[in-house]
Amino acid sequence: MKRISFNALVDLGCLITLIPMLVTGLVLYLYLPSGSGKGGASWMGISRHDWILYHDIAGFAFAALLIVHLLLHVSFFRRIGRSVNQGPAECTAAEQT
């Protein structure tokens, strides 16, 4: 698989895991806040414990994909580091040789 295709799949995976993490986080914040005094609180037939579980699973999957995404862009970060240390004119001259 080409690197750009793999990168696109990782980016898509990040988006796919970000959406349920965002939704479950909003449900927990708006409808099932901690300390609400509702013992065994649930929303849409799903208990608060299960919402937290889904949120955690989506969060860990997102974090893992984000680490892969950052590893795919290591060369980009190295170029940024070089341009900060050398200055923009020196960096482009070094890349051309």
The average pLDDT across 54-79 equals 93
Eight-state DSSP code of residue 35: T
Long-range contacts made by residues 72-76, C-beta under 8 angstroms, separation at least 24? 72/3, 72/6, 72/7, 72/10
- Predicted confidence at residue 32, as pLDDT, reads 86
The pLDDT mean for the chain works out to 86
Q: Report the distance separating Cα 95 and Cα 97, nearest Å.
A: 6
- Predicted confidence at residue 95, as pLDDT, reads 59
Q: Name the pTM for this structure.
A: 0.74
The average pLDDT across 23-50 equals 85
- Predicted confidence at residue 78, as pLDDT, reads 85
Residue 12 token pair: 């898509």
- Total structural domains within the chain: 1
The torsion angles phi and psi of 68, rounded to 5 degrees, stand at -60, -40
Q: Tell me the sheet residues that pair with 35.
A: none
State the residue range of the domain holding 60.
Answer: 3-33+42-96
